[in-house]
Structure 1
Amino acid sequence: MPLLEKAAPDARVITVSSGGMYTEPLNKDLQFGENNFDGTQQYARNKEFRLSGNLRSNDEGADTVIWLALQPKEKLTSGSFYFDRAEAPKHLKFAGTAASHGQIGSIVDSLRSICGI
């Protein structure tokens, strides 16, 4: 971020996700050693879950991303999740998708181990 801010003081990074993130909790079994592979679950875990007939058009999918890029940064909350041009919860109540910092750290450690870092 420091180099990006040096190049353009009002720069920002916009990370994009899909509603699929609401359907599956984080899972440390990254290589399916404990459970069988389930393609649908894996898509959801990777935030790329798609249901036939429920996809947005390209314009609809790009709308909030473009809106975020054009907003003055004072109007946005860094680290927030936005949906349809509005701040939205990162997890749905009772969906079981919220994760602790410890769970996230454990998955990051697993990824580093898999990658040999």
Structure 2
Amino acid sequence: MSTFYDEIGGLPTFQRLVGKFYEGVATDEVLRPMYPEEDLGPATERFTLFLVQYWGGPTTYSDTRGHPRLRMRHAPFAVTPLAKEHWLTNFRAALDDVALTPEQDAKFWDYVTHAAQFMVNTFEEPA
């Protein structure tokens, strides 16, 4: 049985997508301060493994980190509507870069837009 992970090209596609996403995050004035690590490599790896697992690839994420618990893991950060918009802007650029079919793109975009809205945890912009 083929999964969406397989359908869009497996690990190389996810690595390219997440790599492109974090290229944008690295220079984003709203998102970059949310990453305390100087090197975005560990965040890139975690996000790649999460998406790979979500879309039907290997379960390395859960095997190494346990249940995703996304809201809990993001709770220390002020995920505002503005941060959500910046996150989506960077993800949109990454999706455009990997050039999926229109159907694949729509499926992925639908997921990330809903997930991004779900992650908003405050309407107070940080000082």
- Same fold? TM cut 0.5: no
Name the structure where strand makes up a greater proportion of residues: 1
TM-score range, shorter chain: under 0.3
- Give the TM-score taking structure 1 as reference length: 0.28
Name the structure where helix makes up a greater proportion of residues: 2
Bigger radius of gyration among the two: 1
- Give the TM-score taking structure 2 as reference length: 0.26
